[in-house]
Every structure is written in C-alpha cells, then in structure tokens.
Structure 1
Amino acid sequence: MFRFHPRAPHAALRGLVRGLWHYEETRAAPQGRREMPCAEAVLLINLGPPIGVAWPDPTAETRFDTAAGFLARPHPAPARSFMQGSQRGLQVMLTPLGAERLLRCPISGVPAQFLDLRDTLGRDGASLAARLAETVDPETCLDLLEAELLRRLAGDPPADAVAEAWMRIEASAGRIGIGAMARDLGLSRQTLVRRFQARTGLTPKLAARLQRFTGVIARLPEVPEAGWAGLAAEAGFADQSHLIREVRAFTGLPPAALLRKRLPDGLGFAE
C-alpha cells in the first residue's frame, strides 16, 4: 500500500519549491531503494517508524527516528533508503535558491552530508516535526508545513542573474546552451559559472545535466515505443549513446539495468 498526496507549491514559493508531498507506505517486508540524483535540495521529515538513509557514502546509513529529518543538498549520485515495512513522512524539493532562503546562507556552504532538522528549520523545527507526527490527516500536515515554508521564505524570490539562470535551466528541462544563456544575461561564461556554483553548489552544466536526467527518470516506467533512441530525443540528449552514458554516470547502471530494478508498483527503484 502506498498513498501519495502531492500539493502544488503556493504561488509565493515559485522558483523556491519544486515539489511538496505527504507519503505513507506499508509493505509485507523491509524495502531498500536506490534514490535518484537530482538538482534540488531534499527536505524530509519522518513521521512514521525509523528509516535509514545512506548518502553521500552508500555504505554509511543514518537512522532517522519519528519526528526527525534532514536537508540534503543537490546530489549527482544516488542515495539509498531503507524501511522496515512501513513509513510515513513529508518531503519538499527545494531549488538551491529556495534552500538558500530557508537556511539564510548559500546551499554551497552546506557540507555534503545530512543537515539536521533543527539546523535547517531553526529551534522551532523539532516542535513542528513533533506536531506533524501527531497529525494523521495528510492535508493538515501539508498545511502546517507549507505555512512554515511561507513564513521562512517570505518576500519576493531573488531577482538576479543566478536566479534567472536557474529558472531558464529548469524551464528548458536542461536543454539550454550555457554559453548562449550567459551572453543573454550579460555575463561571460566563466563569470556565470563562478556565481552560479557559489550560490547553488552546482555548475550550470551539471544542473542542466541533472534536469535532463530527471526527465529520463520521469519517462522510465517502460521503454517507449520508439526505444531508447526515442527516449533520448524526447529528453534532449544528443543520441542514445549520450543517454546511456549519462544514466550510467548518475546511477552506476545503464538504462535497461536501471529499468529492471524498478519496483513492480512503479514506486522507485529497488536497491
């Protein structure tokens, strides 16, 4: 059993929050998953039994108890998650600029490891998580979390070259030329790369690659009728070989092997 309750981010969170959802899962046996790389920071609050997550070291599992959670910066390598049979939680996908607003500092300054919920949401984080864990209704949980995000991310999103570059990369699903975009923004390529990496922890090229990769994962429930070459064209890759190289680079597996690891109900990839 898996119940997924997504919510479209509030208009005031545009450019800061990519996705927001409540989830609840029950399985007959423990389950390990290979979590896909992404260009967003992941904020997770565990509301159910303890779970384990391994990132960036795939062999070092961190346990998160009920009403605990973390922020993980954008990561170009898979993470691993483990549940004993059931789990419940809230997940927010923050753009790097959203994470910057939440933390009051650039996400590039956050170590490549889990940032504790208290360090992410401040001293009110623990009390909010405890209240969420006691709340059964998914919509009420989402209301509470969205209100906290709106409070912490209040005001207009930043309007600068880095923010504009991020929005263009995201809007194009990673198909934009970085050099041409830099010129259009009135910057040299080197200046854009330097400023973008200082704020997001990613180069513009890596951010675009991750966006294209995310597009592949979204289209991966089954091999398209046109085959891998058709999927490569749909997702903005030069050709089938380019797609295979990128999927292998981000997951350690070629697309066909990754597809074989997809869980029967389509809810992620088995570890």
Structure 2
Amino acid sequence: MASEDVRFRERAPHPLLGGAVQSYSSYEERHTVSTEEHRLLPEANIDLVFHCGDARIEGRDGRLRPLPPVFVIGVRDEPARMVSRGLARVLGVRFHPWSALSLLEREADLRGTCTTVGAGLRALSERVGPLLEQGACDAALRLVEGWLLARQRVARPPAGPVAAAGLELRASHGGARVGALAGQLGLSVRQLERQFKRAAGLSPKALARLIRFSRATERLERDPEASLTALAFELGYADQAHFIREFRAFTGMSPGSYAGEVRSLSPRGEGARGARDVNRGEDTRG
C-alpha cells in the first residue's frame, strides 16, 4: 500500500453557516513510498484548504510547485495533478459554489485549482498552521469556524433565487432544467443565469454538468463493473456517447478507462479512492 495511518473526518458546520458551508473535513495521511501522485478531479464545490506537509501541484506550464499553507480550490473544468510525500495534514471547508463568494469576497479568486488568498486568510493560516503541525485539528477548526462566523455577520448573502436554484440542481443531481427553474423562481432564463454567474462564478448549466460528472465518478468508484449504457441513462445523459464525451472533457480519459483504474486499485483495498491516486516510487519533484 502507498500510505498508512490514514485518518479522515467529516463534520457538519455551525448552524449559522449551514446555508453557505456544506461540511468541514480533516485529513491526515503518512505516505510510505517516496512520493504519491493524486489526480484532483473537477467538483461542483469550492474548497478552502489549510495544508501542512510536503506537497506540490502542477501548474498550467507542467511544472510542480509547492502547495501554499492556505489556498482555494475553485470552480474548474479540468483535472489537476498533485504529488505528496511524508506526513500530510489538511483541514478543509467545503462551500456551495453560489455562497462561497459572500464569505470569501476579496479574500480569494474562486476560479482555478490553487488560487492565492487575501491578507485575512493568510493571517488566519499563520495561526492555523502550527496547530496542524501539532495534529490539533479540532483547535484549528475552531479558529477557522470563528473566522467564518465573523465574516458571516457582515457578509451579503446570495440572492434568494440563486440559492434556491443551486439547491434544486443538487437535489435533482444536475437534472433540473434551467428554463423550468427560472420559471418557478419568477425570472427569465437570462436573469437567472446572470444572477447565478455573479454569485457562483459559473452558469447554472455549468454547475449541472459538474454535479452530474461528480455523481458519475462516485458511481464508478463504488461499482467499476457498472454498465456505461445503464449509467448514462441513470445520470441523465442523452446517450452513452454523450456520457463518454462529457467525462472525457473533465478528466482527459473515458469512463471505461477510469473504471479500469478503479479496478486495478481494488485488490489493495483502495477502490473507494478510485483513480484519483496513482502511486509513484520515483522522485517527481519539479
């Protein structure tokens, strides 16, 4: 196996943050090979990440650069490659994309894989980092949640129709029609798209694509033997060709190839992590 002592916890946010924050997570992993490679797939969320450890992420120029102690994984439509070694500790805050801007405004660019953050988050990271190094994740989370609650008190919430549309897209697994949603909310399609893009950084249709894609990866990780034809129908794609085309656009590979990577990891008990992690024994530092 590539790593041992893997510890993952997911927790619900404070009730006052429930409209913006989906969950908190803490993650600790000790890699036992010289490096481990991770494929970060596009997701229908925005993540604020505090990181402690030796990890590097690939930029658009193909070079690996050290991960900063705090960064945002924003809305994106392509995978990213990350390489880590040794002990890694991560504390994450997962936001609904339509509500992240209200809490992170002027603190982060919400598009991209590893975006820089503002002075407020950098100052917070200077307090959170030492706690992560000590393994005091609960104390670190209390600091982060306190910062978010302070932001919440002065934040401008997203427009009601935007949140309602986002929640309906999630509930329908990306299947809700934008035209029908707009009509239910008393808006034209153009009005809904404009409000949604202003709040979330992407259109309702783009979010629906990401939600459907995320569900596809979850299903393939749970059952890599699933029929692609049946899965395409279940997930609301027009046909198998549409499913393959969309999946390839987000990952650079077909769903069949992704399922094959999941199967190759399953005998080692790592199937649930799917094709997101690829073990490497060589030094890949850039």
Q: TM-score range by the shorter chain?
A: 0.7 to 0.9
Superposed displacement of residue 113, structure 1: 5.9
Change (3 A) 1:180 1:159: same
Matches within 5 A, 1:213-252: 213-223=213-223, 227-252=227-252
Tell me whether 1:44 sits opposite 2:45 in the alignment.
no
Q: Cα distance, 1:151 vs. partner?
A: 2.6
Q: Equivalent residue for 2:281?
A: none
Query: What secondary structure is seen at the aligned counterpart in 2 of 1:220?
Result: helix
Q: Distance in 2 between matches of 1:159 and 1:139?
A: 33
Give, as a single letter, the amino acid of the residue that structure 1 aligns with 2:140.
C
Q: Residue 248 of structure 1 aligns to a residue in which SS? A: helix
1:8, distance to aligned residue in structure 2 (A) = 2.0
Match of 1:267 among 255, 273, 280: 273
- Equivalent residue of 1:70, what SS? strand
- Kept in 1, the 8 Å contact 2:169–2:175? The answer is yes
Partner of 1:64: 67
Does the 8 A contact of 1:233 with 1:239 survive in 2? yes
CA 1:241–1:100 in structure 2 vs 1: closer, same or farther (change >3 Å)? same
Deviations 1:45-93 (A, max 9, x none): 112x2211225x271333125xx12013211111111102431111222
1:5-154 map, 5 Å: 5-29=9-33, 30-47=35-52, 49-55=53-59, 57=60, 59-64=62-67, 68-104=69-105, 110=110, 112=112, 114-117=114-117, 119=118, 121-122=120-121, 124-154=123-153
Mapping for residues 122-201 of structure 1, pairs under 5 Å: 122=121, 124-154=123-153, 157-201=157-201
Query: CA contact under 8 A between 1:36 and 1:77: conserved in structure 2?
Result: yes
Offset at residue 159 of structure 1 (A)? 4.3
Q: Deviations over 1:160-183 (max 9, x none)?
A: 222221122122221100011111
- Give % identity: 34
Given that residues 31 and 86 in structure 2 are in contact (C-alpha distance below 8 angstroms), is that contact kept between their aligned partners in structure 1? yes
Give ranges in structure 1 of 5+ residues lacking alignment. Answer: none
Deviates more, 1:167-176 or 1:133-142: 133-142
**Residue 249 of structure 1: CA displacement?**
1.2
CA contact (8 A) 1:40 1:96 kept: yes
Distance 1:146 1:223 in 2: 36
Matching residue's letter, 2:146: A
CA deviation digits over 1:71-125, x for unaligned, max 9? 1321111111110243111122212233212223597x656463334x1744532
Distance 1:145 1:83 in 2: 24
The separation in 1 between residues aligned to 2:19 and 2:205, in whole angstroms, is 19
**SS in structure 1 at match of 2:206:** helix
- Determine if contact 1:58/1:79 at 8 Å carries over to the other structure: no
Work out whether residues 75 and 110 of structure 2, in 8 Å CA contact, stay in contact via their aligned partners in 1. Answer: no
Counterpart residue identity of residue 198, structure 1: R
Residues 130-158 of structure 1: CA deviation (Å, up to 9, x unaligned): 34324424433333333332232247943
* 1:4 correspondence with 2:11: no
C-alpha RMSD of the superposition: 2.6
Distance 1:248 1:178 in 2: 24
Q: Which runs of 5+ in 2 are unaligned?
A: 279-286
TM-score (ref. length: structure 2): 0.81
- Amino acid across the alignment from 2:13: P
In 1, are the aligned partners of 2:173 and 2:215 still within 8 Å (CA)?
yes
What TM-score do the two structures reach when normalised by structure 1?
Answer: 0.85
Letter in 2 for 1:227: S
Q: 1:234 to 1:241 in 2, by over 3 A?
A: same
